[in-house]
Every structure is written in C-alpha cells, then in structure tokens.
Amino acid sequence: MKIVVIGGSGLIGRQVVARLAEQGHEAVAASPSSGVNAVTGEGVAAALRGADVVVDVANSPSFEPADVLAFFTASTGNLLAAEAEAGVGHHVALSIVGTSRLPDNGYFRGKRAQEKLIEASGIPYTIVQATQFFEFLGGIADTAAQGGATVPVPPVAFQPMAAADVAEAVARAATAPPRDGFVEVAGPDRLRFDEVVRAALRAKGDSREVVADPDAEYFGSTLEAGSLVPDGPADLGRTSFADWLKTTGNA
C-alpha cells in the first residue's frame, strides 16, 4: 500500500514511516520540509496521488489556543478535501484521550475540532487517541512550574506511554481496515500524575519540588480523577514507566 504520513519528519511521524517501510509498504513522509504544507494546501494534492491511506500526525507549532484551532481546522480540511479528490480509502489521525472531557483546554479544543471534521467527512477513518507521552513530561513540568522552583500537579490518574508505542499503534491502525471510530491507546501502568512527574524530574537530576495540588490546572483545565485516562478498554503499550525511566536517566 502507498501510505502518506503527514508530519512524517516529526517525533511520531518518522517512527511511523520507518515501521511501515519495514513492513513493505510504500511509506511517504510528507511535511513542509518536503514541500507538503497541509495548512496552506501546498503540495498536498500531488503527495496524495495514488495513496491508499493518509496518516495525519502533524502538530501545531504553537500551543496558543487560537493558533491550535486554526492549524487543525485548516490542515485537516485541506487533507480531507484532497483525499476525497484522490479517492483515498482510509484517513488515520493521531489525537488525545479525553478531548471531549476538557473543553477549557485550548489544545484539546483544537484536537476535538479536528476529530469532528474527520467524523463528518464521509471518508473511512480511524482516530487513534493516545495518552500523554513520556517524552513530554519535562515540558508538562515546565508549564506547570511557570518559571518557579515548585511544580504543582493534580494527583489524578495518569497513564502515559512511550512515543515508540504510540507510533506502533498508529502504524497498526494504518494497515488495518478503517474503524470509523476511535481507538484508545495508553501506557501499561496507571499511576498518579504528580508521582510520575516527580519521578521523571528526579531521573533527570531536576531538583524542582513537585507538589500534589488538586486545584492545579493542566493547560487551563481543572482535572477530574479520570480526565486523562481511557474510560474503557484500551490498547496498552509495551514500555513501562519504570523501564522508560532507566533509559531517560542515562539520556
């Protein structure tokens, strides 16, 4: 199959491309650096010509709520229009567990808008909703700390996963029949948000104090106990948090 990966040069995209190529598929990495810009539409039609599947793992370069919404609305709209014209039979998108639960989170609003466009497009689709990546824990801590020495984190359920396991789930979805629905994927360990961030910072030698604060916001949202974890059965990644910590501590 010819599978075009939008955002194919990013953290998840390049791993998806590699996995698909190993399986014998014609995996095409498409991104602005290769002349394909989904936001403007530049190069999209040519890239999708002859494609059986389009995988969208592109991310907004800005996390400002308005920018995120504009990015996902424009890029997804352009992709879906080009897919309809090219006769693409399966659209796969990477999203986040809990997009519909946190309307105050600007990034989640943008992803939910993306999901709705895909659902209404008429193109067969699979939306892979993943929990937070281990690789982003440092950035989450930085945002929570707001430049201070204390990192307030709500003590809610948290089930992060390795980026490699996310890429595996996306590649698996791309080679399977369309679900016309959602697939939730998560890490194998359900832990506590503040404890995970604390352990991740310690592994990196970061001395900031992580404080369990039920009122601490997560990118503008107040979290409930299960806001960030699957609310039903989910496909679980293979990499445990403990195993990832052993690796990151030596990185």
CATH number of the structural domain spanning residue 70: 3.40.50.720
Q: Measured at the alpha carbon of residue 230, what is the angle toward residues 227 and 236, in degrees to the nearest 5?
A: 140
Answer whether residue 249 shows pLDDT above 80.
no
Domain range for 45 is 2-133+160-190+224-238
Tell whether 243 is covered by a domain: no
pLDDT of residue 184: 98
Answer whether residue 242 shows pLDDT above 90.
yes
Tell whether 54 is covered by a domain: yes
Query: Model pTM?
Result: 0.94
pLDDT of residue 220: 85
Query: For the residues 13-41, what does the mean pLDDT come to?
Result: 97
pLDDT of residue 148: 87
Tell whether 51 is covered by a domain: yes
DSSP 213-241: -TT-EETTEE--TTTTS-SS--EEPS--H
Q: What's the mean pLDDT when you consider all of the chain? A: 95
Tell whether 24 is covered by a domain: yes
Query: For the residues 112-141, what does the mean pLDDT come to?
Result: 97
Q: Measured at the alpha carbon of residue 220, what is the angle toward residues 12 and 133, in degrees to the nearest 5?
A: 20
Answer whether residue 166 shows pLDDT above 50.
yes
Q: Which two tokens stand for residue 113?
A: 């808008």
Per-residue confidence band for 250, with pLDDT thresholds at 50, 70 and 90: very low
Tell whether 249 is covered by a domain: no
Tell whether 121 is covered by a domain: yes
pLDDT of residue 251: 44
Distance separating alpha carbons of residues 89 and 121, to the nearest angstrom: 12
Tell whether 123 is covered by a domain: yes
Query: For the residues 210-221, what does the mean pLDDT come to?
Result: 93
Tell whether 107 is covered by a domain: yes
Please state the domain count of the chain.
Answer: 1
- Which three-class secondary structure state does DSSP give residue 153? strand
Q: Which amino acid is at 123?
A: I
Q: What confidence tens digit (pLDDT) does each residue in 43-54 have?
A: 999 999 999 999
Burial 76-85 (b: 16+ CB within 10 A, else e): bbbbbebbee
